[in-house]
Copies of this chain bind each other. A is one copy, B any other.
């Protein structure tokens, strides 16, 4: 008997019997053990979220055309690097350190606490050195690591929408400001304990803080940058520019799904008690159910509407399901998670053509999957999760207004100074040859020069 047999051995001998014999006091987790488990949860879940950077890279590599593939690869590894450096140098402090209502403090160096340095520097770890560290709850840098990978996710969302026509360096300058300033400010309002947090706005793992913010930055960028040449013809005609490598896009989606267990599970922020472990398990399950429902809803709807099952809709359905459940993955009714994810997946199928009708050229479908589903998920916390619907609406609007305005100002500033769009010839030639001087697939077919 697999499920219960082994566990009973464990607890039968070491745990349950003692528990009964010695009373509830035996059930305790020591403070130092809790510190270790909290820290390790940040690290494990953090590396899962870091891996999502690879997921975005593969998703976007698969959905652009071959002539722009190497460039999107470069942008993805560069943006993850830039986001990490900037969130270290500036962002984290603005978001989390001594936050007033609107913003935190500014400092160039963030490191382990004095108590931690004292413990690490001592020849012997006496209780008087351990206790103040344990009192922190977790290692300071493990929290930094976990929070850092979230800002990288927000930046990743932008690169997909704007692919195939934006210049590399101006894009990276946008990422500098996004991850150093824009993201942390609204993050301070919510997760840093600022005014939206005080108001009761609730966003467990970032439907709004991460995904909507990335989505707003992408949307304003797409409008200011304009569509790819030839994407929209006369009379509302939309030219399909199919992605060059759908298995890579599929791989990228699986990576995101995998990494999302870190994104949502780690956002429990603690693993030092039975309550935390229990809640974390619920979060994992809802995350998976939401994504699965998003896939099936998107597939079914595209079958009904278009008589074909569109793979890219199914993939974006998974992502939209994940984004939707991200604001409230701690729901105890798992059927709600299925419902929330399914609505998210359905929204993708509806919104992708809608954006095309508005001539907003979103190369990978990130705006429906991250912005629209992010708004939906944040609302769903108010509807199904016991949150305050008014606070949710205020938070969505405030973050939307701030992120859009700040992004638009930045995109416009970049446009009139450095320029953000490659020349028409370079767009035709492809960014890989134009900006990098190389081809992504030099031996395959006609490569980047035919389409």
- Report how far A36 CA is from B32 CA in the complex, Å: 14
Cβ of A76 within 8 Å of any chain B Cβ, yes or no, is yes
Known: A2-B269, A73-B246. A140 touches B281 (CB 8 A): yes
- Report how far A404 CA is from B310 CA in the complex, Å: 32
Q: Would you call B134 and A27 a contact (CB within 8 A)?
A: yes
Give min CB distance, A432 to chain B, whole Å. Answer: 8
Most buried by B among A46, A88, A192, A442: A442
Cβ of A82 within 8 Å of any chain B Cβ, yes or no, is yes
Most buried by B among A1, A57, A275: A275
Known: A3-B191, A27-B127, A277-B35. A111 touches B19 (CB 8 A): no
Closest partner residue, chain B, to A46 (CB atom): B284
Q: Would you call B24 and A130 a contact (CB within 8 A)?
A: yes
For A13, what are the chain B residues with a Cβ–Cβ distance below 8 Å?
124-125, 273
Give min CB distance, A11 to chain B, whole Å. Answer: 5
For A74, what are the chain B residues with a Cβ–Cβ distance below 8 Å?
299, 309, 311, 314
Most buried by B among A82, A128, A311: A311
Against B, the Cβ 8 Å flags (1 = close, 0 = not) of A142-175 are: 1111011000000000000000000011000000
Q: Would you call A258 and B54 a contact (CB within 8 A)?
A: yes
Known: A73-B246, A78-B299, A131-B24. A36 touches B29 (CB 8 A): yes
Give min CB distance, A347 to chain B, whole Å. Answer: 17
- Report how far A270 CA is from B143 CA in the complex, Å: 19
For A131, what are the chain B residues with a Cβ–Cβ distance below 8 Å?
19, 24, 27
Pick from B80, B251, B272, B284: contact of A36, CB below 8 A.
B272
- Report how far A251 CA is from B37 CA in the complex, Å: 30
For A120, what are the chain B residues with a Cβ–Cβ distance below 8 Å?
275, 278-279, 332
Q: Would you call B250 and A197 a contact (CB within 8 A)?
A: no
Give min CB distance, A112 to chain B, whole Å. Answer: 6
- Report how far A25 CA is from B191 CA in the complex, Å: 33
Closest partner residue, chain B, to A3 (CB atom): B96
- Report how far A444 CA is from B67 CA in the complex, Å: 12
Known: A78-B295, A119-B275. A285 touches B54 (CB 8 A): no
Binds B, one of A230-238, A333-341, A413-421: A333-341
Cβ of A102 within 8 Å of any chain B Cβ, yes or no, is no
Q: Would you call A6 and B275 a contact (CB within 8 A)?
A: no
Known: A47-B258, A332-B120. A446 touches B446 (CB 8 A): no
- Report how far A348 CA is from B222 CA in the complex, Å: 35
For A285, what are the chain B residues with a Cβ–Cβ distance below 8 Å?
88, 141, 144-145
Q: Would you call A29 and B32 a contact (CB within 8 A)?
A: yes
Pick from B3, B48, B276, B338: contact of A143, CB below 8 A.
B3
- Report how far A129 CA is from B36 CA in the complex, Å: 23
Most buried by B among A144, A303, A440: A440
- Report how far A333 CA is from B162 CA in the complex, Å: 37
- Report how far A268 CA is from B303 CA in the complex, Å: 42
For A248, what are the chain B residues with a Cβ–Cβ distance below 8 Å?
247, 251
Cβ of A207 within 8 Å of any chain B Cβ, yes or no, is no
Give min CB distance, A303 to chain B, whole Å. Answer: 8
Q: Would you call B296 and A439 a contact (CB within 8 A)?
A: no
Cβ of A30 within 8 Å of any chain B Cβ, yes or no, is yes
Query: Which 4 pairs across A and B sit closest by C-beta, in order of nearness?
Result: A24-B127, A2-B191, A54-B254, A1-B193
Q: List 13 A-B contacts (CB under 8 A).
A: A3-B269, A26-B31, A27-B131, A28-B32, A29-B36, A43-B265, A69-B246, A74-B314, A112-B278, A133-B274, A169-B303, A247-B248, A444-B444
